[in-house]
Structure 1
Amino acid sequence: MSAEASVVSGIAGRYATALFELARDNGVLDQVASDASDLGNMIEGSDDLGRLLRSPVIAAEDQGKGIAAVLEKAGASEMISNFVAVVAQNRRLFALRDMVRAFHTLLAAHRGEVVAEVTSAKSLNDDQLAKIKAELAASMKTDVQVETAVDERILGGIVVKVGSRMVDSSLRTKIQNLRFAMRGVE
């Protein structure tokens, strides 16, 4: 198994590793990466698609046909379409979003990049993302790919995860820390 494969694990990791190695060996890594990004965005952006992928009551064949139609309409490559068909046949579509994330982790490791997950209370604009990416690249001394998520529960600030490290500068955490500190004052 390649060195990149050691950075992911579980069901998603095994499938992502298979897709990554197949794409790399066939010289279509960039195309598959683009298709995987599109697929991830479709899953994140559509509640209906998410329900289709996670529902245990929908037959595997119907799930496969549904996701195949979505991929065909999106113009996905044959490799990503075949990969998703195998995932559907094996009743693993519920883990497809994690497979896409694991694939991107493998791709980043292969390219010598680091993936940072940035969570904020509201969507970040391009200028804010560029500043965060520049700061992370300077501190990590390597190229950084930023994946964003929005979680209104953090109230404000950001949470940055890089590998097993996390920097939590969210307002929610600061309030929780203040509550904890105030308990000792009573």
Structure 2
Amino acid sequence: MVQVQMMHRVGQYKTYKDHLRHCIIIEVPYTDQLALLLIVPKYGHIDEVQHGLSVQLINWYLIKMRTSLLDLYIPKISLEQQVNMQDALLKMGIQEAFSDTAELYGISKQLGLKVSSIYQKNLIRIAENGTESSGAEVIQGITHPLALELKVDRPFFAFVYSKRMKTILLMGRVMDPSQD
């Protein structure tokens, strides 16, 4: 068993329990515009849930979610990833910027400049201050007798979701929250 610090909140959260796919979905608001969407499979079902995940399914979950009073425990974690974007940009047709004939005059007057590599760095941090929001009534560290207790104490999926754009901005699979 992995030991990690847990964030504890009691409050109103949008949830959905998918009995067919053996998982529960929780929306943890960050701001009026952003939310953390957690998909927490039952023990032993992480691969099964992952194989069934799709944008359509996540959108269906968002429609089906209902507000529930939860006594919620989430591991405090920080997930970081660096992605080389060169292949994706080349496939999109952005090739000249990487060639010896690149014309980057809008950036610099220096001749012979070209893009040698380009990376995107992504970070998801789950902590108390990252989940406080005007969109959720949250009480820290206090339990409520009518709240359903939910401990995210097993592998799960985390998505940063833009409510305004209705799109997933970042996603990750957390197997061992003690590992960076």
- Structure with bigger strand share is 2
Q: Whose relative contact order is higher, 1 or 2, with alpha carbons under 8 Å and at least 6 apart?
A: 2
What's the TM-score, normalizing by structure 2? 0.22
Give the greater-gyration-radius structure (CA): 2
